[in-house]
Amino acid sequence: MPYNKCGKWGLKLPAISLGFWHNFGDGDDLDEGRRIMHRAFDRGITHFDFANNYGPPYGSAERNCGNILKQDFATHRDELLIATKAGHDMWSGPYGEWGSRKHLLSSLDQSLARLQLDYVDIFYSHRPDPDTPLEETMGALATAVKSGKALYAGISKYPLPMLKEAVAMLKDMGVFTLIYQPPYNLLSRGVETAGILDFLKEEGIGCVVFSPLAQGMLTEKYLTGIPQGSRAARSEGFLSAEQVEEFRPQIQGLHGISQARGESLQHLALNWTRHHAAVTSTLVGARSVSQLDDLLDSLQSDPITDAQLKAINEIAPATDRGE
């Protein structure tokens, strides 16, 4: 496992990190979840990424994995980087979401209780809040760090103007911005077109990207149709059949490049996310040990050549669509 410096800071992240969204909830196979966590750690994944409302139901991923962390990983706490977030819908009432100091710090305390930890390594503001002053949200992140409940502050999905303001505010409060977390994949390159990746590189801020496989579109599952039981075939969720149909020409074209490279489409997609110098780590999710192993095996692929990057850009040019 390669480890990359998080921007200009001393912390290092594995090239691939494990995300806990939608794979460790109450309806999932937690025995397999335990095996996934063990296998990830054994293969060098030291970074586990949570949020307060991961599940489903909300909070269940932290609660279920908190038990596993306590039972199996307690002696390895200093070898693990645990991240969590607050800002999206979590509980009912006026304080259950967004960016107020009340929500962020209450949510952090709840996450620590579910994870059965004294601190998390990274605490994120999960999304921008249009109705709360940015000073309040950044002040809550600064409090989390200065209280010792989080070692580092992170920001997720902020547009560039607000991100710049947030970074400056945290600096004035004596807290640096360690990391930024956006969606980024071959079909969704908005952080490129908006100049966010360039800003992160200039400022020395790390970047961990999520949704590298575009909700499964960047696999061989959807090359010719919508398989029964697939994510796009279900009415709920974040991927529709219409999206798949819209992007199928790009998916098929990219598959041709992956075949020429002698690898799967998902390996090409994962390798591509690391091509930008600002990207520190790529978040993946896995429902089985074999799936995790396949994703990690992408690290053994040859680097993408300049000619292949040019061909990729012709098939899937930089746009802000497809997140």
Residues 6+ apart with CB under 8 A from 136: 99, 100, 101
Task: Please give the torsion angle defined by the CA atoms of residues 45, 125, 176 and 186, in that order, rounded to the nearest 10 degrees.
Answer: 60
Cis, peptide link before residue 56, omega less than 30° from 0: yes
Task: Set out the domains of the chain in order of their start, with CATH numbers.
Answer: 3-181 (3.20.20.100)
Q: What is the pLDDT of residue 322?
A: 41
Cα separation, 314 vs 323, whole angstroms: 19
Residues 6+ apart with CB under 8 A from 240: 232
Q: What is the pLDDT of residue 239?
A: 83
Element (H or E) spanning 35, and its range?
helix 30-42
Low-confidence ranges of the chain (pLDDT < 50): 322-323
Question: Model-level pTM?
Answer: 0.95
Residues 6+ apart with CB under 8 A from 74: none
Concatenated DSSP letters of 93-119: STTSSSS-HHHHHHHHHHHHHHHT-S-
Per-residue DSSP letter, 79: G
Residues 6+ apart with CB under 8 A from 14: 1, 2, 3, 4, 44, 45, 46, 47, 281
Interstrand relation of 177-181 and 206-209 (parallel, antiparallel or unpaired): parallel
